Amino acid sequence: MVPAEGVDETALRVRVPAKLNLFLAVRGRRDDGYHELVTVFQTVSLYDHLRVALLGLPGRRHHPAARRRMRVELSADPAVPQGRDNLALRAALRLGELSGIVPLEGPADRDGVRTVIDLEKRIPMAAGMAGGSADAAGALVGLNRLWDCGLAVDQLRAVAAELGSDVPFCVTGGTALGTGRGVEITPVLSRGPFHWLICPDSEPLSTSEVYRAWDRHALPSDVGPDRVLYALRSTDAAGLGAALHNELEAAAFGLRPRLRVRKRALLDAGAVAVVLAGSGPTLLALTADEAAAHALAAAVADWCPQALVARSPAGGPELSHDAGLSDTGPLLRTLE
Ligand code: C5P
């Protein structure tokens, strides 16, 4: 996007990874309708890219009064949810509200200050990989810096929890135990790297529908994450494979029976283990190494041509100066 004549911009780029749930146990339904979880999150090397830019006339862009009322816009491919349906824009508006910024609607005013969020999506959507949550986390991390909000990580996580259950983890990424609704985050040690073939499904699956199916058919479990936490301290794919666990799998497979068939096909084609990604419908096939992930991709290409090879863990959101404006290199690696 080229700013209009006379208008300057300050811009940052944020790269945010998708997440995996290596372990997900459902302890039961809560009074607020959510489910009490024990989960192990890990980021994986599939990324969305955000560019956040503050535009305005020189002198006005950084003027506190001019910045108090500004337009906040999202620019994204039409396939991506638009406006307030997009979690990244909702995150921006909420952070703005908490920072005393009044979002303006209507046509852009040449003298006004604007923030534009450009979103480039690569994480599969509605796939159980927290793509929308990652975008929201990216917007929070990027705008916290661009707008000089000065929120600390735990404050960003509190805002994140208002936006969705996976957003607090996405603010810092890495590997973490999630409890409560999934929003209470404790970092855990992981070595790795672990190698995956990620097999998205062509049709999305609604998270709330999967939880409702769990309500109908499943009982609260008391399985603990110790085996996964132990396996993560090694680089042993077989150990991790034996420990992968997702209690939403039966509910999702009931709603989408072909996923059970595809899991079997991935195992028959050489995956070490296969687990549903979050509430699905993506399947995660763990492989012994990167070459095995590529070989598995070739073996399943006829029914999963969109499969992606990836590695975990993948750190957290990475913030850098916009390349066009600065050659000073990375501004901040991650928030961890
Ligand atoms: O928090 P988020 O908006 O991502 O959750 C989407 C839906 O998933 C919720 O409306 C709820 O139906 C279900 N959910 C749940 N328990 C959780 C997380 C999500 O029931 N811990």
Across the range 43-68, mean pLDDT stands at 87
Which of 165, 246, 255 is the best mutation target for the ligand 1 pocket, counting ligand atoms within 8 Å of the beta carbon and taking the most? 165
For the question of whether the overall pTM of this predicted structure is more than 0.75, the answer is: yes
In ligand 1, the atom with minimum distance to the C-alpha of 166 is 4
Q: Which band of pLDDT confidence, cut at 50, 70 and 90, is reported for residue 2?
A: low
Among 123-127, 173-177, 262-266, the minimum mean pLDDT is found in 123-127
Across the range 261-276, mean pLDDT stands at 98
Among 9-13, 64-68, 252-256, 307-311, the minimum mean pLDDT is found in 64-68
Across the range 46-55, mean pLDDT stands at 96
Quick one: what percent of the chain has pLDDT higher than 70?
Answer: 93
pLDDT reported for residue 323 = 62
Maximum separation of any 2 CA atoms in the chain, in Å: 63
206 lines ligand 1 (CB under 6 A): no
Whose tokens are 């810096």? That residue is 145
Q: Which band of pLDDT confidence, cut at 50, 70 and 90, is reported for residue 302?
A: very high
Residue 11 has pLDDT above 90, yes or no: yes
Supply the residues annotated as catalytic.
19, 166
How many Å apart are CA 122 and CA 124, to the nearest integer?
6
Give the closest residue to 64 by CA, choosing from 110, 101, 98, 96: 101
Tokens of 206: 């609604």
- Angle 126-176-251 from CA coordinates, rounded to 5°: 40
How many Å apart are CA 190 and CA 174, to the nearest integer?
8
Distance from residue 33's CA to the centre of ligand 1 (Å): 8
164 lines ligand 1 (CB under 6 A): yes
pLDDT reported for residue 268 = 98
Across the range 154-182, mean pLDDT stands at 97
pLDDT reported for residue 334 = 38
What's the mean pLDDT when you consider all of the chain? 92
108 lines ligand 1 (CB under 6 A): no
pLDDT reported for residue 68 = 81
Between the two ends of the chain, the Cα-to-Cα distance in Å is 31
pLDDT reported for residue 211 = 98
pLDDT reported for residue 108 = 67
Among 102-116, 216-230, 231-245, 314-328, the minimum mean pLDDT is found in 314-328
- 187-232 pLDDT, tens digit per residue, is 999 998 999 999 999 999 999 999 999 999 989 999 999 999 999 9
